Structure 1
Amino acid sequence: MPTIRCLLALAAARNWSLHQLDVNNAFLHGDLHEEIYMLPPPGLRRQGENLVCRLHKSLYGLKQASRQWFAKFSQAICSTGYIQSKADYSLFTRHKGHSFTALLIYVDDIVITGNDPIAISALKAFLHRHFRIKDLGDLKYFLGIEVSRSKQGIFLSQRKYALEILKDAKLLGAAPVDFPMEKGLKLSDKGELLKDPTQYRRLVGRLIYLTITRPDITSSVHVLSRFMHAPRKPHMEAALRILRYLKKSPGQGILLSSQNDLTLRAFCDSDWAGCPNTRRSTTGYCVFLGSSLISWKSKRQKTVSLSSAEAEYRSMAAACCELSWLRSLLKDLRILHRQFALLYCDNKAALHIAANPVFHERTRHIEMDCHFIRDKIQEGLIATQHVSSSSQLADILTKALGREEFNNLVRKLRVLDIHSST
């Protein structure tokens, strides 16, 4: 999903057209390299016969189907001069002179963009000759994401999906709330077990997919997903509160601005020992490409941090990994960052640990992979900078906030609702 948002942010900034294609019966194009046999269909099976069919082509339902289809597609598209990205294998680019074309594929859904309409038309013709495709025109709806375009940029939302969740939960008439989780709420393994946990698991699973365009509920959904094995009544009540928050603005999403300098900057934060069961901290980071939010994450850390500085340092390392990957992805998209990417943190102790490569007693127990950020700082690819806690945008991804703090950060993340009357 960060690749999709990154490509759309680039298209919005460069004013490129976006085209959507669909491959008919995609898995049937794959070639099999193993001997696979199947029982004949009932209409061809005679009584008393014990015959099988050997498959020469891929069929839906085979474990090899998706892999063989993608191998066939990759071989065909690369034969025309397109280069497969090493940062994301589903991205293919072609650069020739001033012409640039990018293709992104997810199973049988394809998005094409670029600055050369002739090259895009030639690509469509090539794909139609080799695979039966359906040209869906301008990009409007992709993987459940609604794409709206205006002079301000490209707006991504999942309004239809959010309304379906509310309808299934029978909460279309519920009273809305202003923020998804009560401030300071700490959910634990206490409370009455739910008699039927499948409803909770289905609801949280759908909410997880909704976080593709809703960073405002990412932290709350992440907390609820910790209790999928044994959900309890307080967990269900917290999940229903998120639905009441969605009721307030089901069409809320992110805006990828057309006014964009395409520079990378990130905010990282942590909630030290925030999990009452394991005492592990929560890492949260968000990455901007210019003024467009393209990547964010809320995740519980793997080990217990002995101090808040250590927890912040681990979150800085996670954000640094994401920035390094995004730099390589943008390089494939012909966006070269000759200057460093800014990483904002509100903990001065963690900033000093990252900047000072001297071995210290307080940091010797931290895993070596966390010191990855020091190498990037010395190489000049990352530069850290202190930011006040009130301006720390990643704070919304680590803990439950009050109304004023929450709404303030939502506005700064450029999360809005174009369907709202205000």
Structure 2
Amino acid sequence: MVKPTTVRLLLSLAVSRGWSIRQLDIHNAFLNGQLAETVYMRQPPGYEDKLLHNYFLVYVDDILIMDSDSDRVTTLIDKLALELKVRDMGVPSFFLGIEIVLLSGGMLLSQQRYMKDILKRAGMVDCKPVITPVSSVKITDDVAVPYADPTQYRSLAGALQYLTVTRPDLSYDVNLLCQHMHAPTTTDWVSLKRVMRYVKGTLNLGLRISRSTSMDIHAYSDSDWADDPNDHKSTSGFAVFLGSNLISWIFRKQRTVACSSTEVEYKGLADIYMQKLHGSFLCYMKSASLLRLLLDYGDYPNPSPKAKTNTLSAARSQEPQQPAVPAANPSTCSSVEAANPASNKINFRPPQVS
């Protein structure tokens, strides 16, 4: 099954390189999917040619095919049609619940239909919208009152998780909501409804993917310090860009308690560097042949990764201060603009692989 990061990464490459993109639907995919043995797949002939690339994004019976040659895409679809009942849907417009709106110089990934469905499930179609997903006044209760319908809370919080596929501006707030799934309180329910009201007011937002001339990977990281009053753990977040396009992001609690704000920032940087760039992120890209694809299209002399920050006091004494970036207004910008922090930055160029 294709992962959201892979979808965003390959769409970014396709837009930047002018690849042909076609969407297919396979009828009765489950009937054709009974396998009693392990199946190994090999890259098709021609993959080694840097000028010719074809990639499949497969989720059950929904498929996106990308290739640098549109004729090769047509030929491949014709061959698939000889073996399976295939419906050629042409240029993709709706994939995995995500609307793909073609724009000049790129595309917009929108989940507007999905947002309206969530609001309908919550009975908040006509709710009053707000401009921020979290109240500026922190709500605290002396006595926690369990929410009467925890199943409803878990259902809506889980639905909001999938919305973060194209809405990075919701990732932090949804992460907080999901931390209370086991025993939600009335206060948690109020916080969830606040997020729903924010969704109501931002139905037009989505993730824009634009044509980019750069294939460099840039990562931004930021952390709070002991913000959770219960366990005093900090929350870290990062955003990874391929060129000018946002392709990966996450917010999560750190595993241990930090003794200072400097320590928590270093932990955030170490987490993104070791686990996402040097670790699982690159291993995942390599296993999917995406790292080699980046190497084919980028000029990577194999330098060491460089980290820059404007929040750590230790770094301030060694590097020039970077100008602050004003907070984005969610009502006047796309999601990618609202989720582009300038706090901690790692400039990373993938190493060469043989």
TM-score range, shorter chain: 0.7 to 0.9
User: Partner of 1:405: helix, strand, or coil?
Assistant: coil
Which residue identity lines up with residue 335 of structure 1 in the other structure?
A: Y
Query: Which of 102, 124, 131 does residue 171 from structure 1 map onto?
Result: 124
Query: Which of 236, 250, 253 does residue 297 from structure 1 map onto?
Result: 250
Question: Once the 2 structures are TM-superposed, how far is the Cα of residue 171 of structure 1 from its aligned partner?
Answer: 1.7
Give percent identity, aligned residues only: 35
Return the alpha-carbon distance in structure 1 between the equivalents of residues 92 and 333 of structure 2. Answer: 26
Alignment match, 2:344: none
Alignment match, 1:419: none
Question: Once the 2 structures are TM-superposed, how far is the Cα of residue 405 of structure 1 from its aligned partner?
Answer: 3.2
Question: Once the 2 structures are TM-superposed, how far is the Cα of residue 127 of structure 1 from its aligned partner?
Answer: 2.2
Alignment match, 2:293: 332
Return the alpha-carbon distance in structure 2 between the equivalents of residues 101 and 10 of structure 1. Answer: 12
Return the alpha-carbon distance in structure 2 between the equivalents of residues 130 and 117 of structure 1. Answer: 21
Task: Please say which structure displays the higher CA radius of gyration.
Answer: 1
Question: Once the 2 structures are TM-superposed, how far is the Cα of residue 344 of structure 1 from its aligned partner?
Answer: 4.3
Query: Which of 310, 327, 331 does residue 346 from structure 1 map onto?
Result: 310
Whether contact under 8 Å (2:207, 2:334) holds in the other structure is no
Whether contact under 8 Å (1:266, 1:343) holds in the other structure is no
Instruction: Confirm whether residue 323 of structure 1 aligns to residue 277 of structure 2.
Output: yes
Alignment match, 1:161: 114
Point out the more displaced range, 104-113 or 183-192: 183-192
In structure 2, stretches of 5+ residues that fail to align are 339-354
Instruction: Please show how residues 379-398 of structure 1 align to structure 2 within 5 Å.
Output: 388=322, 390-391=324-325
Question: Once the 2 structures are TM-superposed, how far is the Cα of residue 120 of structure 1 from its aligned partner?
Answer: 1.3
Return the alpha-carbon distance in structure 2 between the equivalents of residues 224 and 115 of structure 1. Answer: 42
* TM superposition score normalised by structure 1: 0.69
Which residue identity lines up with residue 198 of structure 1 in the other structure?
A: T
Instruction: Confirm whether residue 282 of structure 1 aligns to residue 219 of structure 2.
Output: no
Instruction: Confirm whether residue 145 of structure 1 aligns to residue 106 of structure 2.
Output: no
Alignment match, 1:365: none
Return the alpha-carbon distance in structure 2 between the equivalents of residues 314 and 130 of structure 1. Answer: 51
User: Partner of 2:297: helix, strand, or coil?
Assistant: coil
Question: Once the 2 structures are TM-superposed, how far is the Cα of residue 224 of structure 1 from its aligned partner?
Answer: 0.7
Alignment match, 2:26: 23
| C-alpha distance 262-210 of structure 1, shift in aligned 2 (>3 A) | same
Whether contact under 8 Å (1:162, 1:250) holds in the other structure is yes
Which residue identity lines up with residue 348 of structure 1 in the other structure?
A: L
Return the alpha-carbon distance in structure 2 between the equivalents of residues 216 and 296 of structure 1. Answer: 10
Whether contact under 8 Å (2:22, 2:91) holds in the other structure is yes
Alignment match, 1:106: 59
Q: Map Cα deviations across residues 79-124 of structure 1 (whole Å, 9 max, x no partner).
A: 7438xxxxxxxxxxx3436222222212222111121112212221
| C-alpha distance 344-135 of structure 1, shift in aligned 2 (>3 A) | farther
| C-alpha distance 342-154 of structure 1, shift in aligned 2 (>3 A) | farther
Whether contact under 8 Å (2:205, 2:334) holds in the other structure is no
Whether contact under 8 Å (2:21, 2:92) holds in the other structure is yes
More helix by share: 1
Return the alpha-carbon distance in structure 1 between the equivalents of residues 117 and 169 of structure 2. Answer: 19
Q: Map Cα deviations across residues 272-327 of structure 1 (whole Å, 9 max, x no partner).
A: 11111111110100111121111111011111122222211121122223234257
Q: Map Cα deviations across residues 365-413 of structure 1 (whole Å, 9 max, x no partner).
A: xxxxxxxxxxxxxxxxxxxx8765843xxxxxxxxxxxx8352798486
User: Partner of 1:26: helix, strand, or coil?
Assistant: coil
Instruction: Confirm whether residue 129 of structure 1 aligns to residue 82 of structure 2.
Output: yes
Alignment match, 2:169: 216
Instruction: Number of aligned residue pairs: give it.
Output: 323
Instruction: Confirm whether residue 116 of structure 1 aligns to residue 69 of structure 2.
Output: yes
Return the alpha-carbon distance in structure 2 between the equivalents of residues 249 and 192 of structure 1. Answer: 30
Which residue identity lines up with residue 327 of structure 2 in the other structure?
A: E
User: Partner of 1:20: helix, strand, or coil?
Assistant: strand
| C-alpha distance 243-269 of structure 1, shift in aligned 2 (>3 A) | same
Return the alpha-carbon distance in structure 2 between the equivalents of residues 143 and 188 of structure 1. Answer: 40
Return the alpha-carbon distance in structure 2 between the equivalents of residues 241 and 214 of structure 1. Answer: 16
User: Partner of 2:53: helix, strand, or coil?
Assistant: strand
Instruction: Confirm whether residue 12 of structure 1 aligns to residue 15 of structure 2.
Output: yes
Return the alpha-carbon distance in structure 2 between the equivalents of residues 281 and 186 of structure 1. Answer: 19
Return the alpha-carbon distance in structure 1 between the equivalents of residues 131 and 124 of structure 2. Answer: 16
Return the alpha-carbon distance in structure 2 between the equivalents of residues 138 and 256 of structure 1. Answer: 16
Return the alpha-carbon distance in structure 1 between the equivalents of residues 91 and 48 of structure 2. Answer: 22
Question: Once the 2 structures are TM-superposed, how far is the Cα of residue 337 of structure 1 from its aligned partner?
Answer: 5.1
Return the alpha-carbon distance in structure 1 between the equivalents of residues 164 and 142 of structure 2. Answer: 24
Whether contact under 8 Å (1:18, 1:113) holds in the other structure is yes
Which residue identity lines up with residue 347 of structure 1 in the other structure?
A: T
Return the alpha-carbon distance in structure 2 between the equivalents of residues 126 and 290 of structure 1. Answer: 35
Question: Once the 2 structures are TM-superposed, how far is the Cα of residue 332 of structure 1 from its aligned partner?
Answer: 3.3
Q: Map Cα deviations across residues 4-57 of structure 1 (whole Å, 9 max, x no partner).
A: 101111111112221111222223334543xxxxxxxxxxxxxxxxxxxxxxxx
